[in-house]
Amino acid sequence: MRAITYTEPGGPEVLQLTDQPLPEPGPGEVRVALAVSGVNPTDWKRRSTADPGDAPQTPNQDGAGTVDAVGEGVDPARVGERVWVWEAAWERRLGTAAEHTVVRAEQAVPLGDHPFELGAALGIPFMTAHRCLTVAEHLPRRLEPGSLTGRTVLVQGGAGAVGNAAIQLARWAGAVVVTTVSSPEKAALARAAGAQHVVDYTREDVAARVREIAPDGVQAVVEVSIRANAEVDTKVVAQHASIAIYADDGGPEFSAPTRAFMALNTRFQFVLVYTAPAEAKAQAVADITSALAAGAIRVGEDAGLPLHTYPLAETAAAHRAVQDAAVGKVLVDVTA
Ligand SMILES: NC(=O)c1ccc[n+]([C@@H]2O[C@H](COP(=O)([O-])OP(=O)(O)OC[C@H]3O[C@@H](n4cnc5c(N)ncnc54)[C@H](OP(=O)(O)O)[C@@H]3O)[C@@H](O)[C@H]2O)c1
The closest residue, in CA terms, to atom 26 on ligand 1 is 157
Please give the pLDDT value at position 137.
85
Question: Which atom of ligand 1 has the smallest separation from the CA of 276?
Answer: 3
Mutate to test the pocket of ligand 1, among 43, 209, 224, 323 (most ligand atoms within 8 A of CB): 224
pTM of the predicted model over 0.95: yes
Tens-level pLDDT at each residue, the chain (336 residues)? 999 999 999 999 999 999 999 999 999 999 999 999 999 999 999 999 999 998 999 999 999 999 999 999 999 999 999 999 999 999 999 999 999 999 999 999 999 999 999 999 999 999 999 999 999 888 999 999 999 999 999 999 999 999 999 999 999 999 999 999 999 999 999 999 999 999 999 999 999 999 999 999 999 999 999 999 999 999 999 999 999 999 999 999 999 999 999 999 999 999 999 999 999 999 999 999 999 999 999 999 999 999 999 999 999 999 999 999 999 999 999 999
Q: How far is the CA of 45 from the centre of ligand 1 (A)?
A: 13
Check if 157 has its Cβ closer than 6 Å to any atom of ligand 1: yes
Phi, psi dihedrals of residue 324, rounded to the nearest 5°: -90, 15
Please give the pLDDT value at position 45.
98
Check if 116 has its Cβ closer than 6 Å to any atom of ligand 1: no
The closest residue, in CA terms, to atom 15 on ligand 1 is 161
Radius of gyration for the alpha carbons in the chain, expressed in angstroms and rounded: 20
Please give the pLDDT value at position 317.
98
Please give the pLDDT value at position 136.
84
Q: How far is the CA of 81 from the centre of ligand 1 (A)?
A: 32
The closest residue, in CA terms, to atom 30 on ligand 1 is 225
The closest residue, in CA terms, to atom 21 on ligand 1 is 160
The closest residue, in CA terms, to atom 36 on ligand 1 is 157
Please give the pLDDT value at position 138.
84
Task: Output the 3-class SS for the chain.
Answer: CEEEEECCCCCHHHCEEEECCCCCCCCCEEEEEEEEEEECHHHHHHHHHCCCCCCCEECCCEEEEEEEEECCCCCHHHCCCEEEECCCCCCCCECCCECEEEEEHHHEEECCCCCHHHHCCCHHHHHHHHHHHHCCCCCCCCCCCCCCCCCEEEEECCCCHHHHHHHHHHHHCCCEEEEEECCHHHHHHHHHHCCCEEEECCCCCHHHHHHHHCCCCEEEEEECEHHHHHHHHHHHEEEEEEEEECCECCCCCCCCCHHHHHHCCCEEEECCCCCCCHHHHHHHHHHHHHHHHCCCCCCEHHHCECEEEEEHHHHHHHHHHHHCCCCCEEEEECCC
